[in-house]
Amino acid sequence: MDHKKSEVSIAIPIYNEENCIRETVNELVRVFEEKKVNYQIVLVNHGSWDKTKEIIIQMGKENKKLKIINLENNLGYGGGIMHGLDNSDGMYIGWTCADGEVSAEDTYIIYEKIKGGNFDVVKAKRENRQDGDFRKLTSLVFNVVAKLRFNLHLKDINGYPLFMKREIYPLVKAEETAHLFNLDLIKKIKEKNYSIFEVPVIHRKRKAGKSFMKISRIFEMAFSLFRYCLGL
């Protein structure tokens, strides 16, 4: 297949997701093929020590629309996404996560919105979140602080999936590769005066496996946000 003609590329960063990556990808494949979209899915396995590598290699043999990338070192949340975007070739590019917390149907709705041509960037606004009260509280605080500091008129800065026009990606590429990737990207989009639109999506419990978002990491994110707000 000539991937240069892909309508959309979806990057998925993967870190130890052997229990859910196949189901997440199969759901995306089913929906985008039903909608007759010429898609590309870029699977970026970075630093996994479980069976993720073997699983996605086999998936790539089964479906040539999947681009398989296996890296030894973990690139960070944002680094994994950007590596996938850097190796994508769709007219529209974006990402979702491997855990299936946002349905393929909602992912397609966001793609359909960006394809409509009225916005440069379209992203999810997660509703009815299923990741616990503490995570919801920390997310609320993060959004309030970031919006006040950088005048961002969004409800869910870290919401995904996100799709953008391919041509703007080099102009807004984030420098942050870890927890603040989304904030850095959104801030650059705003600075360039590109239009961005949020689409409400239903947030689901992860399909399988465990989240790596522990309390210690949340405190690390808080310190990183403090540093970022001060421009350090």
Across the range 3-14, mean pLDDT stands at 88
CA distances from 149 to 27, 52, 120, 189, 231 (A): 38, 39, 23, 15, 11
At residue 48, the pLDDT reads 96
pLDDT in tens, 171-218: 999 999 988 999 999 999 999 999 999 999 988 776 665 555 556 666
Q: Which of 74-83, 86-95, 148-157 has the lowest mean pLDDT?
A: 148-157
pLDDT, tens only, 132-166? 666 677 777 888 888 889 999 899 999 999 999 99
**Bridge partners of 95?**
11, 162
Q: Is there a contact between 67 and 43 (Cβ–Cβ < 8 Å)?
A: yes
Element (H, E) at 30: helix 21-34
Q: Which two structure tokens, joined as six digits, stand for 52?
A: 């993720």
| Residue 3 pLDDT level (bands cut at 50, 70, 90) | very low
Identity of the amino acid at 2 = D
Decide: 93 and 11 in contact? Cβ < 8 Å: yes
Residue 220: per-residue pLDDT: 76
Q: Using 50, 70 and 90 to split pLDDT, how confident is the model at 226? A: confident
The C-alpha angle 162, 164, 167, rounded to 5 degrees, equals 155
The predicted structure's pLDDT at residue 43: 98
Rg (CA), the chain: 17
pLDDT band at 18 (very low <50, low <70, confident <90, very high): very high
* Cβ atoms of 51 and 15 closer than 8 Å: no
- Give pLDDT, residue 2: 45
* Phi, psi at 229, each rounded to 5°: -65, -30
pLDDT digits (tens, 9 = 90+) for 33-70: 999 999 999 999 999 999 999 999 999 999 999 999 99
Higher pLDDT, 14 or 208: 14
Q: Is 178 helix (H, G, I), strand (E, B) or coil?
A: coil
Please say whether the beta carbons of 92 and 9 come within 8 A: yes
Domains and CATH numbers, the chain: 3-229 (3.90.550.10)
